[in-house]
A = this chain, B = another copy of it.
């Protein structure tokens, strides 16, 4: 399986969409130097292309194994992880105070896009560590931070997130795992957690579990959840490792894809843990982990989509079948218009998703670090709005793009060992975990849209219209065509937004029935806007033909559908409410 990072596309997105210069101008990233970007991308590409990508089919075939001694990672991954740690990749965007490199978040997104693109099952391990790190950074005491963060940020230890229980998936408030005070400041955690990604493995000497559980007498539901940290091996005062904690992996799930990522059933039998943050405030801490994970899962969608695109292009160039006008004999299928159409849909979808994810990461940095309170506030709202789009729209694209990747391969795409098949199977989890895409849509129309009366979406629509005006002002026919689509898209999204704001007040069930379709439209319009933004800024460079081509194709293929999408949000929601269960009952 081959993967080469699309460095030109990634660099373009970092500079034109994530606007690293604006992030650097906050003054919060003294280590950042624009000259560093190219070498970082080159080095990360080497790890991805040369080390991780060759292990991907092996991991798909072999998977992780559960032994008496615990989970054993798929062949080669321990050594790859060692190289990942040695490269210092884990700490790229984390604070120097704990050994990180203190660089802007979008740079880390760029690097982890490569890692996920080369080997998504592997990439999940640091992805979960991210969540643990961010929870400890935001909510951990000084002592907990000093104990765990340096080794998590160096990557010497990994972290995992223990949220789900059999009866508590999307509804975390239903969890029943208990945490009883031991009297010494620690707690005894007892319960079973499922779907714990990289909950156990043999790649590092220690694993740090972040665990949601209930204190005795905690209120019912989501207001009675607390967050705990529980290391696999206790950490002595001198930093050395002590005894083994009493939790263990008792089973691995058999999954469609990401076989090399162990999905653990974890049993906690009075395991010792320490409270992170306030009692009963675990939900807030969980959202700290989840928000990071949501953007990173969206990034997985970009990455696996890019990998599928590369495999599709390679196969289409190689596979000879049929004839084409003006060409002798059997031709590569890349000359067939329908194959080209699939590749164009893949390429434009992946780039739009990349733009949304990187823009979300940039907003997070500005929301945290910009010196101006108002700018921070605006960017926080932007980050909040973009997060469900980054997660759900990007992973919906991953399903579409990897599906097209299989289709380009024909019968070969249905064979288990084909790279295209692996990408399709790996991608299928992305719309599910870290909050299903339906949950993202509810988050978008609930907290994010109705929460501020549509203000953040209004700002986004203003940006879409400004971009359209700028495109029109070029007087170049292609840009003018894109401007037309963008304006029609903004009109459609505005109309749908007004409807949704009203529905969420007066007919909430109807509004929620349209949430997923609304998110799809919002992603199309925002994605189209960002592609155009990138193309406008790239006019003088060599890549201008590509960036404008992608913006124009996306505008005609997908954004053009926006006007009619309004009815599929509003009227279809009404038709569903009118008919109800008669539609599907036996």
Contacts and interface: CB of A to CB of B under 8 A. Distances in A.
B556 A560 contact: no
A48 interface: no
Given A255-B415, A576-B344, A560 B567 contact: yes
Contacts of A344: 576, 579, 583-584
Contacts of A413: 432
A214 interface: no
Nearest to A6: B586
Contacts of A565: 561, 564
A30 to B, nearest CB: 35
B337 A512 contact: yes
A34 interface: no
A399 B400 CA distance: 10
Given A428-B414, A563-B564, A583 B550 contact: yes
A428 B428 CA distance: 13
Contacts of A558: 568
Contact of A416 (B170, B255, B572): B255
Contact of A407 (B425, B431, B550): B431
A572 B485 CA distance: 12
A508 B431 CA distance: 38
Q: Secondary structure of the A side of the interface?
A: helix
Contact of A310 (B164, B194, B433, B586): B586
A325 B512 CA distance: 12
Contacts of A421: 256
A167 interface: yes
Contacts of A564: 560-565
A584 B343 contact: yes
Contacts of A373: none
Contacts of A309: 584
Interface string A339-372: 1111110111000000000000000000000000
B582 A553 contact: no
Contact of A571 (B256, B429, B546, B560): B560
Interface stretch (A69-77, A233-241, A436-444): A436-444
A553 B568 contact: no
Nearest to A433: B411
Contacts of A550: 579, 583
A338 B515 contact: yes
Contacts of A556: 567-568, 571-572, 574-575
A239 to B, nearest CB: 36
Nearest to A585: B313
A330 B407 contact: no
Contacts of A509: 325, 337
Contacts of A428: 406, 414, 424
A313 B583 CA distance: 11
Interface string A144-174: 0000000000000000000010010111001
A322 interface: yes
A50 interface: no
Contacts of A341: 513-514, 516-517, 572-573, 576
A552 B309 CA distance: 37
Contact of A578 (B417, B432, B510, B552): B552
A412 to B, nearest CB: 8
Nearest to A195: B411
Interface in A386-407: 399, 403, 406-407
Contacts of A515: 337-338
A4 interface: yes
A270 interface: no
Contact of A579 (B337, B441, B552): B552
A244 to B, nearest CB: 28
A338 B170 contact: no
A546 to B, nearest CB: 5
A575 B561 contact: no
Given A171-B321, A344-B579, A550-B579, 19 more contacts: A164-B411, A194-B411, A195-B411, A253-B415, A254-B416, A256-B414, A256-B424, A325-B509, A337-B515, A338-B438, A341-B573, A406-B432, A407-B437, A411-B433, A413-B432, A556-B571, A558-B568, A560-B571, A561-B565
Interface of A: 4, 6, 164, 167, 169-171, 174, 194-195, 253-257, 309-310, 313, 320-322, 325, 330, 334, 336-344, 346-348, 399, 403, 406-407, 410-411, 413-417, 421, 424-425, 428-429, 431-433, 436-438, 441-442, 478, 481, 508-510, 512-517, 545-546, 549-550, 552-553, 555-558, 560-565, 567-568, 571-576, 578-586
14 contacts: A171-B330, A256-B415, A325-B508, A337-B513, A337-B573, A337-B576, A338-B438, A341-B576, A343-B583, A347-B584, A546-B582, A549-B580, A552-B575, A560-B564
Closest A-B pairs by Cβ, 6 of them: A549-B579, A564-B564, A560-B567, A337-B512, A557-B572, A338-B438
